[in-house]
Amino acid sequence: MRAEIALMSGSAFAVTHHAFSSGAGRTSDGNGSHASTLKSPSYTKSVSWQHYPWSETKAAYRCFSNDKVSANKIMTPHKENITERAQQFKRVLVLQDTTELNYSGQKEKQGVGPKKHKDERNLFLHPQLVISESGVCLGVYDDYQWFRDELKTSKNTRQEICNDLLHKKHVSEKET
């Protein structure tokens, strides 16, 4: 399993390195060759734009659809490496922050929940970045993700309080 993870990490590095070293995206120049002339960053492109030749694109989609592949299995060796690298330093810092991703425009998107209004769809991401005191980045240790199952508003909260008060009657006041 470790060899597979290392291979996937190596492939991801090659793709990322290629995307940043050769410019973002590609277009045909009319002669059949592809030049890196698109102005938008490569990370906004689909997998088929990121991974080429076609065999690498197919491999990426097979990886994404494989039930044996999970975020935990991919992150475990990275966490182990970060822990090992952290031993070299007297002290490390774990920086963390919650980011809110807005998917309101993507109605079919699964794994997101409501924000303030029923039409808003959000996902929360809480990464943990480990760095040394001198600023050496050791890696992303974790990235907890969640969404709210149901909308919590002040109106809902007031209703819950009223319902609780209605149910808290003295025994003598209750009907038999």
Q: What is the pLDDT along the chain (176 residues), one digit of tens a residue?
A: 222 222 233 333 333 333 333 333 333 334 333 333 334 445 455 655 654 678 888 888 888 889 998 888 888 999 999 999 999 999 999 999 888 887 776 666 666 665 555 667 777 888 899 999 999 999 999 888 777 666 555 555 556 656 665 556 555 665 54
Domains along the sequence of the chain with CATH: 1-69 (no CATH), 71-176 (3.90.350.10)
Q: Is 130 within 8 Å of 142 (Cβ atoms)?
A: no
What distance in Å separates the CA atoms of residue 14 and residue 150, rounded to the nearest whole number? 41
Q: Can you give the pTM of this predicted structure? A: 0.48
pLDDT at 85: 93
